Each structure stands twice: as C-alpha cells, then as structure tokens.
Structure 1
Amino acid sequence: MVHLFRTGIVISVLFLLLVTTADLQAQVVEEWVAIYNGAVNAEDAATDVATDAAGNVYVTGYTATLPLSPWNFDYCTIKYDTTGAVVWSATYNGPISGADLAQAIYVDAGDNVYVTGYSEGLIAGGPVTLDYATVKYDPNGVQMWVARYNGPGNQADIANDITVDMTGNVYVTGLSWNQMAEDYATVKYDPTGAQLWVARYDGPGMSSDEAQTVAVNQNFEVFVTGWSLGLGTSFDYATIAYDPMGIQLWVNRYNGPANSGDGATDLVLDENSNVYVTGWSQGTGTQEDFATIAYNVTGGTIWTNRWNNVGYEDVGNAIEVDHDGNVYVTGYTSYAPYPMENFDYATIQYSATGAQNWVNIFDGPMSAEDKAQDIEVDDYGNSYVTGWATAQDSSKDYCTLKYDFSGGQQWVMFYNDPLNGDDLAQAISLSPEGKVHVTGWIYGFAAASLDWATVRYSPTVMVWLDPISPPIQIPASGGSYDYRIYVHNVAATTTTCDIWCDILKPNGTLSVPVLGPVNVTLAAGFTGNRYRTQNIPSAAPPGDYAHNAYSGTYGGQIWDQDHFPWEKLTDDSGGEVVGDWASYGESFDAWTLDPRLGSWPSATVLTGVSPNPFNPTTTITFDLQVAANVTLNVFDISGRNVGAQHAVPTSGSGTTPTTGFYPPGSHAITFDGSNLSSGIYFYRLEAGEYSAVGKMVLLK
C-alpha cells in the first residue's frame, strides 16, 4: 500500500442535508477506464496504484507469460497519462523466467517509479527460491536498476511494501525465511540500488513473523508493522522503529483481550511521526475486531481503540490520517458466523485523541459480500474507500465511495467489466486536483482469465483558484487581493450546479459566503474563469486565512473544492481603511476561455496595458492575426460600465468609440480616466470568441 505525503491547511465542514440518489451520482463521473490484457491473453492482475503531481497514474502487478501456466509471470508496470492513454509499459522477468509478482509501487517527486514484490531465483546447485525483487524506473520507464534480496534460509522471501525517503533511499519490507521459519526483513537501498542494510526481526515465538507495510519519517527513521507469533499469545501486532542505520529503536507488541490471533495490516505516520496501526484482533467472545493503535515516535502507546460490530468477523485493512490528526480506518464487518457471512464495508473516523467520531457501514445491492480494501483521505478530510461489492446478478464489482469529513456518504460508484464477471478493486490513489484512481483485477476477455482495470473518477464540475501575486499579505487597516476562479464541466452532458466561495478565519470558523451561491449551467466539456477582487476589512483579526471555492449544491453536497492561503498582518503598512468583505469583479453571466487548458485562440493576443497604475490615461494594446470585431468594456468596482465614454480606439471604425471592425495587425485603445475618481477598474477586451480580462488602477 502506498502512502503519499500531501500538504494542506484547511478543513471545511459541510453539514449534510437531505440527499437523494440522483444528488449522490450527479457530483462524480467515470472519466475513463484503462483495461490491460497481457500478450498471452491469460492471467493479469493489478496490485497497487500511485499518482504523480501532474495527475499521471502508475499501476503495477503481474502479467502471465505462458498460457494456462500457474508459475510463469512477470512484473508489469504501466504509466497512464491524464486521459488514460498508455505512456509507457515495463516488465521485469526474473533470472529463471518463473513467477515474478509485483506487490507495491511508489512514485517520487521526480517521477521515478519504484516497484517491489517477489521473484523466483535459483541458488547455484540448490533449490528454486523466492526473493525480494525491487526495480527502479526513470520517468520514461527505462529500468535503472534491479536489487534482489535472498534471505539466510534460501527459501521464500516475499516483499509486501515499499517507500522512498526525500533523498531517494528505498525501503522494502516483508517476510523472509531463516533456517526455521519466517522473519520480518526490512531492506534499505541507496538511490543507485546498493544495499545499505538489512534489519530482521524474529519474534518471541521464534516462528512465523510477517511485515505488511513500511513508512519513513523526515528524520529517516523507519517504521514497520505486521504480525508475529508470541509465546502463548498466538499472533500479535508487532510494530518496530529503526534508526537511519537500521538499528532497532523500539518494538511494541499488541496482544488482544482474547490472548489469541492479532494481525496488523497497515501503518501510517502523521506530521509529528506518531505511528498509527490497524488490523484485526480476536476479542473475548466477539471473533475478530478492528484494533487501531496510536504510538508516539518513541514507541509509547497514545491510545488504543477496538471496534466490534455485532460479534462476528471485523477486519481493518487500511488506515490514513489527516493533517489535524484524525484517523480513518476501513475494512469489512460480518453479520453472521462462518460459513454464512454477510460482509459490509466498515469505515471509522477517530479523533486525534482516539475518540470514535463516526462509523459508516455500507451494504451493497445484494447484501452479500462487500469488502473494503483501501482508503485515501484528501486535504479537506474527505475519505475515499474502494474494494468490491456483490451486484444484483451475484457477481462482484469494484465499489468506490466518498465520505465527507462528518461521515456523510457523498457518492458511490460501481465498475462492472464488459463480460459481467467478478471485479475486485485492490488499491486507490488521489491526484492533487482531486481525481480518484482505482485499480484491481477483472474477469477478462478470454475464458478463465484475468485482466486488470484502472478507473478514473472525477468531480462532475471541477473548481480551482489562482491567486494573483502570492503570497498575499493584507495590512492591519485592511485591503484587497485579486484571484481567478476556474470551473470545468468534466461530464459529457450539460450540468447545472452552484459555485460559491467563503473565507476560513484563523479561529477556524467560516465567515458568511463572500461569493455566491451562483447557479450556473455548463455545457459538456466547458471550461471558464472569472477575475475577482476580494476586500478584507480592517476589523478582520490578524492571522492565517484561507479563501475557499466550491462547486456542488449550496447547503447540500460539495462536489469539488479548492483554496489558497493569505495572511492578515498585525502591523499597518498604511493605505486606505477598508470596511467590508465585499467581493467584486466579473459576473458569471458569460464565461471567458481558460488559457491553462489551451483554449485561447491563436488569432488574438493581448500584448499589454501600460502604464498601470495610471493617471489619467493608459493604453491597452493587442494583436490580430485575422480581422475581427473588437469590443472593449471597462467597469468600476460596482460593476458599472464606464468604458463607452472614456475609451478611444487609435484605429478601426464602428458605431461606438469602443466597438469596431479591426483589420489584422497591431492595435491600441486608450482609456482616459480624467473624469473618474481614483480606484480599481476592470477591462474586458473581446475579439470574436477571444476574451481577456484584467485590472487597472487609477491613481490621482
């Protein structure tokens, strides 16, 4: 399982109102599906997924190399671009062309890709072994190195997880046989693939020990967890910390109340290097329960929280933590004893102190086998869960859900393969702009075969903010800042929604909305933006703020959101005192085109506004490659059009001073503010379908 570090500063809470099924489905769309069927049309399965900063998607797993063979597989790793097209595909075939199965993937900040798993090897004159095999690819998919690890037992060594630190050192963990049984084995490689150290752990039972996941903090300390046989306690959680040299700092074992089987499945670190572990633990008369534990960086237990639903099997599979220390766990719960189990998703949020905030149970369409496998959390405390649910025809489909910060279900999406077979999602990742990526394996296009399918979900209407001239600092007397707000309708149909903005104050409470709600109807694929100015009053207290934008149903569902930070200073740098939270600028009655999505026509270019600030005149210049009707409008901060009587073109003709048919070439329009008061003005230059908007400041 891959845990990518994400940054963010704002958690906004939306109180969920009455929501219909149509509301749940309206806010998300399936953007694309990428299916991979290997060369021999046999068994192919994806095991993990990661996303880079640009939104490209990386999937790893294995692909069959011989039809109908149970032991001939290669690692397979694919990079998809943001449209779902394959950028590159790479395979790894071990030294004896046997079973090579990738288990986990990591993508670093430079878009280098790291994959680990297990691969058959051969000891000279000895038996076939299973070894750790870790592969690094460059951003173009070129293999940079392969590092193999064969443990002292010359038997089975299976890597389960991988992570990479900020300097490019690589950490792999899993199980490795000694002469008698399995141990934890954690290996550190340098950026060139050279092995730096191996740390093995053999529990007090001196028998079966298997590490499941690994994480590294900013001090290069390494943390692993899994399960380990104790003395008279059956299996226990065993969580271990190592220093940067691989020396064990501490080990903390957890034996549940039944003194029976306990197994940790996942681990995550918060920004203070507190360690959070989840899994399953036998309760007293309750079978397996969720058991989630928080440790501090020195191994001391901060809190332990167990969750039992109705007394049957409850298994935690994955864990995440947000920037406020809230912990999110997902897995599955049963409502009947074996063999009559009826499994549902179970997702829990705990506070930073371990208090249970909410539990959400999801029962699929057939009230049969529904099992959550993985979870991600975004910067706003929304949680995304994936796994599989039993469909009405009794087959299994990918099932992915989103919950808001307060646990309200925002949407659920199913994916059913083209042949209507069993589809089992294994892993989930988020892109920085809020796209959701799910991968796993599906019943494929050939009889009795598996393929893998990667699905991308997107908010139906995306919204994002672009502050002008950050970082933004407002003096104590108040002031204003400028920004653009963008929207994009991802759907293939016209979509109606609300757009609104608010500001989060330093004390964490929302002000009254500063923009909207504005109800908009957007054509399929539409992208637009608006240039706005936001006043900040002198009465606003000093501190760190966030300007938030939302799409969705105002007072109901948030489909997408974005924010940028700004600061109110304690000292005053002078200037006019501002008294309100007014927001002004372009209205939403028409939309400009979005240059960041490549939709500016090449026929028109705005070349500049000079001088700016000005007194009393300024000149707006532009180039036309083809003849066009040109319109200039200038507005004051109240939205009043002041351009018709104050702007004069230096070329062209028309019925008004600011509207006319301009030939190809360079042109200029002069704006004269002699009869206007000092202040902020906005211009809009339109030429055919081209539109450019900007701000001018008149200083007298």
Structure 2
Amino acid sequence: MYLLAGHHRRLDRGVPVPTMKDKDNREAHMWRKIHTSLKSMLTFLGMAFAVPIFGFSGMVSAQDWQFVETPIGISRGVMNSMHFIDKYTGWIVGNSTQGDIIHTTNGGIDWTTQQTPVHAYLVGVFFVDANIGYAVGSEGSFGNATPVILKTENGGEQWLRQTSPVVKGGLSDVYFMSAEEGWATGTDSDTEEAVVLHTSDGATWVQSNHPVPQANLSAIAFADAHYGWIVGSTLSYPYQPIILATSNGGQNWTEQTQPLTEGNLLDVFFANPDSGWAVGKNDTSAIVLRTTNGGATWLSAVAPEGNSASSVCFLTPAHGYLAVNTWQSSSWSVAVHKTSDGGETWDQLLTSIPNAYADKVQVVRGSVHIFLLLSNILGLLQEHGQLARIDVDPANVTIQVGGMQQFTATGYDTTGTQVPVTPQWTTTGGSINPQTGLYTATTSGNFTVTASVQGSPVTGSATVHVPTTGVERYDQVATSFGLCQNYPNPFNPRTTISYSLPVQNIKSKVERGGKGTLDFELSTLYITLKVFNVMGQEVATLVDEVKEPGYYTVTWDASEMASGVYCYRLTAGRSSITRRMLILK
C-alpha cells in the first residue's frame, strides 16, 4: 500500500463560506466562525458501514459514499484536516470539547481520541510514518491567538508542544519530507505578515524568507526534498492568487507567474517535480490551474461547475481527484470529480452530497481508497479502475513430479493501482485448485498456469517446468531447497507456507535405451522456519526440528500479530531463503 507522495493541504480557513466576497481579513475571520457553525450542522446519522466497489465510467448515487461518525463530530466539534498513511491508518485534527486529534487503525471504522498538551484549533496534520507526526494550528481568541506546533513520536499516544518563532498568530499547514525536515505556513498577527517556518531537526523552528509578506498562505506541498510550492492569496479584496516555489529545499522562495488576476488558491498538489495543480475559488466559481514544467508555466484548466475547489489529490500525473463545493440557495453541496488526462477535463464521480462542505479529499493506493472530510463526518469510498492486467507469482517455476506450488494473482488498473480480483485457475498440465491456485505436478513437461476473472477478458499466466526424472515414486522426494510464497497473501489471520527439502548425496546413472534412474540417500536435515517483524525481531517459530527430504506445508495463525509486513525464513545448514508476507486486519 502506498500513500500518494507530495501532498498535504490546508483547509479553506479564513475564507468566507456563506458568501462569495471577502471585504477584508477581519471579516474573513468572522466568517470562519460562521463556517464552523454551518459545518457542524451536518447530520449524516445511522448509516451502515459498507464500502462499494465500482468502475471508472459512469456516475453512481451519493448514497454509495459511506459516512462514518467520529468523536469530534459527535461532540459537535469541527474536523479541519486529515492525513492517512495507508488505507487503514489515519489522523484527523480539528477542535471539539472531546479532543482535537483522533486516530484510526482500521480505515475509519473506529476512532480513538488522543490527548494533547493544549486545547487548540488545529488545521493541519502530517505523518511521516506510523509513529512520527506533526499538527499545527492556534489557540486563543482572534487577536490574541498564539501558534501551536505539536509533535508525536509514538503515533499520537503522546503529543508534545514545540516552540514557534512566531509569538502571535496561527499556522495553516504543515508538510514533512522526513522525520526531521519540514515546513509550516501561517500568519504573524503582530506584523500582519505571512510566515513560512522551517525545521531541519524536527525540533527547532526558524522563519524562512519569502517574497510576498502581505499574503494569506493556505497550503504547502513538496514533490521531493528540493522542489516545493506554497499557494494562497493577497490579503486585500479583490484577492489575487499567489504561488511560491522553491528548488533548493526552501532556502529560497520565488513567486511564480500564473494567469489569474482574481481568486484565492486553497490547495496544491504535485505528483512529481514537473506535474502539479493548484485549486481554489474566485467570486463566482471554482478555479483549477495546472503545470507540466514545475510551475514555470501555469495554465487555467476548465474547472467543474461549482463555487469552490477546496482540495485536490493525484494518483499519477494523469489520474486525479478534486472536491468541489457549490452554494445553492441556502446550503452547500459537495461533488467529487476525477480526471484521467492530467486535469484538462473532469468528470463527476458521484452525484452531489447535499448539505455538506468538503475540506479535504485524500486518495490512498491499494484499490483506490478515497477519504472525504466533511468537517464533522467522514466519507469513505473504495474505487478501482478497469482491470488492465493480472500478475501471477511466481511467473516461472521448476517443480519435480509430485511437487506443489502456490500461485497468487494480483490485478492492476491502467494507473498501476491494485484492483481486487478473485481469480479462477486453470492449467495445461498437472492439476490446480481452481479457487486457491495450489498446483500439483503430476507429470513431466512444460505447462501454463492461467488466472482469469469472471466477466473480464484480462488474464495472467505463469510457466511451469516439470523435468523428466525417470524415477518411480519420486512424488515424495524433493531435489531442491525451496520456499513458496505464503497463501493467501495478504491474509488475516491464517496463512499456509509450503517448502521443500532436498535429497542429499544423489547419484545418477543412465541405462541402455535412454532410461534413467536415480539412486539417492535420504539424509535427514535440521531445519528452522521462523517469522520476523520489520525490525528483525523474531515473532514466531513455525518449524524447529529434523526432517527428511520432501515437500511440507505449515499453517501460521497470526491472530495475535498486528497488521504489517513480516518476513519468514527457512534455514537448513548454511542455506536459507527469506520471503515477505503481509497481514491486513
């Protein structure tokens, strides 16, 4: 599973929501409070958890979103931003009487509230991995607010406050390229200037120079350790979009030219140092800018109909998602749009969600998992594109007569994103379980194992070579030291591992007529089969004994293990083989 790199965004904070015009920065802060109150009125209650799967083409109804309540939403608080590192593990920050940070480890089904050293209005969150994360915002009332920077090194079990070089004001977004190297944007209320903060050790923050102090900086994103962008707008009405860029890791920021004379940019995303998008709003409509050369040239793209494009996220330079909010009569509605041509055109993915305002959309690989933050409720959707290919593992294998091999199949769409498949297995020789993919070599020859999916013309295949042995009853004896990929994989909670132990001291002779025989000695072997976590710590011993040559299988029950990647190692004397497996709970 891969989280999309190069993206973290700030919400539409300080931007008028119930009206399309801002008069000045103070009025923007007034509307922030109205915005919060409006969003806390969302009441998607009592919906069962069922995540649908569907294809790229066509629209489905908004009821195909699954809405999940959270501790912040239930307490009538407001959720401002989120960050998922995979489809299971994520954090949401905001403000509520029950707490300002919540955490899930099962894709949003269940949430726990995490304690923070200060009760704050948090608007930005970023996690480098499952342990190290940062959250930013402010505490106190308007005019007397102070910036808040929080850090955790244990997944949020404990949050510690860090010192900000800005004494008064607030922070709007945070982004980290490593556990130590990160940036944050915000406002210094003493000077009424926008600030960019930087840390190189994950602890000490300093201000970075930038060319547009009179600005409202909304979001920051980096494509890699060198190239980053910040978007926002000027402070006075009519607002003008601002895009800042760096090519040296934030040491210097320059303003990039963009084609708009009016508007406010709310979010930015870069799939790589060249391909990027900036989205936002003007007085009447949503706006989308795109670049294919790192921002040297920004072009206006045709934006979907609506008043505000609040969030954007891309899987590849071609495939992306956009959240658009529309004001109709007396309430907001949300629509998610997708593109397959880099943002030149957008198609609505679902019908609009009424009485809602989207702060953020985030997409996580591994069957495309879409998370849509609606301030006091979370929308979940699992989507994948049309099946484009099936990979079979192993792709080529040599098996002796009587040997067994577990085959697995993985599907992918045109973006390279995994697509869930339920393969049907066939073979041109030998036998294979059509549901599980467990192959048994019954005769010598070269054969093909094929995985297919009902209703799809796409197939995947593997080649099986079964050499001629000329040995009777050889089905119980192995001549190679082997360890098969576990099946199923990923799994929860049990999986099966097959392995083979070779015949020792083999002697061969050829008789007349071309018939061959093998004389062998069945030397016993002392073997171990152990499981390790990603830290190299042994977590299970599956086999630890002397065995005769042959083919074996063992089942591991990982009920007590946490989700994650594990390694299993077969060792016999000086020989060893290691493979990986994945537990998903």
In the superposition, relative to structure 1, how do residues 350 and 667 fare at CA in structure 2: closer, same or farther (>3 Å)? closer
The partner residue of 2:224 within 271, 281, 284 is 271
| Deviation of the 1:164 alpha carbon | 1.9
The equivalent of 1:135 in structure 2 is 102
Aligned letter for 1:200?
Answer: S
The partner residue of 1:351 within 293, 300, 307 is 293
Q: Is 2:434 the partner of 1:621?
A: no
Query: How far apart, in 1, do the equivalents of 2:377 and 2:337 lie?
Result: 20
| Deviation of the 1:222 alpha carbon | 2.9
5 Å matches for 1:517-596? 560-562=414-416
| Deviation of the 1:373 alpha carbon | 0.5
Aligned letter for 2:101?
Answer: T
The partner residue of 2:303 within 334, 354, 362 is 362
3-state SS of paired residue (1:461):
coil
3-state SS of paired residue (2:174):
strand
| Deviation of the 1:426 alpha carbon | 3.0
Q: Is 2:361 the partner of 1:428?
A: yes
Q: Deviations over 1:236-262 (max 9, x none)?
A: 331101243521244334436xxxx51
Q: Is 2:71 the partner of 1:91?
A: yes
Question: Quick check: 243-252 or 452-461, which moved more?
Answer: 452-461
The equivalent of 2:370 in structure 1 is 437
| Deviation of the 1:326 alpha carbon | 2.8
In the superposition, relative to structure 1, how do residues 249 and 360 fare at CA in structure 2: closer, same or farther (>3 Å)? same
Instruction: Tell me if the contact between 1:428 and 1:437 (Cα under 8 Å) persists in the aligned partners.
Output: yes
Instruction: Tell me if the contact between 2:226 and 2:250 (Cα under 8 Å) persists in the aligned partners.
Output: no
Q: Is 2:421 the partner of 1:597?
A: yes
Query: How far apart, in 2, do the equivalents of 1:693 and 1:297 lie?
Result: 46
Q: Is 2:129 the partner of 1:149?
A: no
Instruction: Tell me if the contact between 1:74 and 1:101 (Cα under 8 Å) persists in the aligned partners.
Output: no
| Deviation of the 1:453 alpha carbon | 7.5
Query: How far apart, in 1, do the equivalents of 2:46 and 2:150 lie?
Result: 22
The partner residue of 1:119 within 86, 90, 96 is 96
| Deviation of the 1:143 alpha carbon | 6.0
The equivalent of 2:281 in structure 1 is 332
Aligned letter for 2:252?
Answer: T
| Deviation of the 1:230 alpha carbon | 6.1
5 Å matches for 1:144-183? 146-150=114-118, 157-166=120-129, 168-177=131-140, 181-183=144-146
Instruction: Tell me if the contact between 1:217 and 1:273 (Cα under 8 Å) persists in the aligned partners.
Output: no
| Deviation of the 1:382 alpha carbon | 2.9
Query: How far apart, in 2, do the equivalents of 1:562 and 1:73 lie?
Result: 36
In the superposition, relative to structure 1, how do residues 253 and 453 fare at CA in structure 2: closer, same or farther (>3 Å)? same
| Deviation of the 1:163 alpha carbon | 1.8
**Percent identity of paired positions between Structure 1 and Structure 2:** 8
The equivalent of 1:382 in structure 2 is 319
The equivalent of 1:304 in structure 2 is 255
Instruction: Tell me if the contact between 1:434 and 1:459 (Cα under 8 Å) persists in the aligned partners.
Output: yes
The equivalent of 1:202 in structure 2 is 166
The partner residue of 1:462 within 387, 394, 406 is 387
TM-score between the two structures when normalised by the length of structure 2:
0.56
Query: How far apart, in 1, do the equivalents of 2:327 and 2:40 lie?
Result: 30
3-state SS of paired residue (1:135):
strand
Query: How far apart, in 1, do the equivalents of 2:417 and 2:110 lie?
Result: 37
| Deviation of the 1:280 alpha carbon | 0.9
Q: Deviations over 1:428-478 (max 9, x none)?
A: 12231563636355xxxxxxxx9957364746633344264489xxxxxxx
3-state SS of paired residue (2:157):
coil
Instruction: Tell me if the contact between 2:371 and 2:380 (Cα under 8 Å) persists in the aligned partners.
Output: yes
| Deviation of the 1:180 alpha carbon | 6.6
Query: How far apart, in 2, do the equivalents of 1:451 and 1:363 lie?
Result: 25
In the superposition, relative to structure 1, how do residues 670 and 692 fare at CA in structure 2: closer, same or farther (>3 Å)? farther
Instruction: Tell me if the contact between 1:343 and 1:371 (Cα under 8 Å) persists in the aligned partners.
Output: yes
Query: How far apart, in 2, do the equivalents of 1:683 and 1:72 lie?
Result: 56
Query: How far apart, in 1, do the equivalents of 2:449 and 2:423 lie?
Result: 20
Aligned letter for 1:328?
Answer: W
Instruction: Tell me if the contact between 1:74 and 1:100 (Cα under 8 Å) persists in the aligned partners.
Output: no
Aligned letter for 2:115?
Answer: A
| Deviation of the 1:166 alpha carbon | 2.5
Q: Deviations over 1:626-645 (max 9, x none)?
A: xxxxxxxxxxxxxxxxxxxx
| Deviation of the 1:330 alpha carbon | 0.7
The equivalent of 2:347 in structure 1 is 411
Query: How far apart, in 2, do the equivalents of 1:119 and 1:683 lie?
Result: 56
5 Å matches for 1:445-484? 454=379, 456=381, 458=383, 461-466=386-391, 468-469=393-394
Instruction: Tell me if the contact between 2:128 and 2:179 (Cα under 8 Å) persists in the aligned partners.
Output: no
3-state SS of paired residue (1:288):
coil
3-state SS of paired residue (1:409):
coil
Q: Is 2:233 the partner of 1:280?
A: yes
Query: How far apart, in 2, do the equivalents of 1:485 and 1:454 lie?
Result: 27
Aligned letter for 2:152?
Answer: Y
C-alpha RMSD of the superposition: 5.1
Q: Deviations over 1:43-62 (max 9, x none)?
A: xxxxxxxxxxxxxxxxxxxx
Q: Deviations over 1:96-146 (max 9, x none)?
A: x7x53332233345934423222348xxxxxxxxxx722334449666662
5 Å matches for 1:182-197? 182-191=145-154, 193-197=157-161
Q: Is 2:280 the partner of 1:323?
A: no
TM-score between the two structures when normalised by the length of structure 1:
0.48
| Deviation of the 1:319 alpha carbon | 0.6
Query: How far apart, in 2, do the equivalents of 1:198 and 1:74 lie?
Result: 36
Query: How far apart, in 1, do the equivalents of 2:433 and 2:409 lie?
Result: 24
Query: How far apart, in 1, do the equivalents of 2:451 and 2:385 lie?
Result: 30
Instruction: Tell me if the contact between 2:42 and 2:377 (Cα under 8 Å) persists in the aligned partners.
Output: no
Instruction: Tell me if the contact between 2:70 and 2:376 (Cα under 8 Å) persists in the aligned partners.
Output: no
| Deviation of the 1:225 alpha carbon | 0.6
| Deviation of the 1:415 alpha carbon | 2.2
| Deviation of the 1:212 alpha carbon | 1.0
In the superposition, relative to structure 1, how do residues 436 and 359 fare at CA in structure 2: closer, same or farther (>3 Å)? farther
Q: Structure 1: any 5+ residue segments left out of the alignment?
A: 8-67, 122-131, 152-156, 334-340, 442-449, 472-481, 487-548, 551-559, 565-593, 610-618, 626-665, 674-679
Q: Deviations over 1:150-204 (max 9, x none)?
A: 37xxxxx31112222226023110012399722221011231633444222436x
3-state SS of paired residue (1:359):
strand
3-state SS of paired residue (1:425):
coil
Query: How far apart, in 2, do the equivalents of 1:358 and 1:91 lie?
Result: 41
Aligned letter for 1:210?
Answer: G
The equivalent of 2:171 in structure 1 is 211
3-state SS of paired residue (2:163):
strand
Aligned letter for 1:332?
Answer: K
Aligned letter for 1:215?
Answer: Y
Query: How far apart, in 2, do the equivalents of 1:456 and 1:164 lie?
Result: 22
3-state SS of paired residue (2:225):
coil
Q: Is 2:77 the partner of 1:100?
A: yes
The equivalent of 1:292 in structure 2 is 243
Q: Deviations over 1:665-695 (max 9, x none)?
A: x999867x7xxxxxx7647799x99x99653
Aligned letter for 1:288?
Answer: Y
The equivalent of 1:262 in structure 2 is 215
The partner residue of 1:221 within 175, 178, 181 is 181
In the superposition, relative to structure 1, how do residues 219 and 102 fare at CA in structure 2: closer, same or farther (>3 Å)? closer
Query: How far apart, in 1, do the equivalents of 2:211 and 2:187 lie?
Result: 9
| Deviation of the 1:484 alpha carbon | 7.6
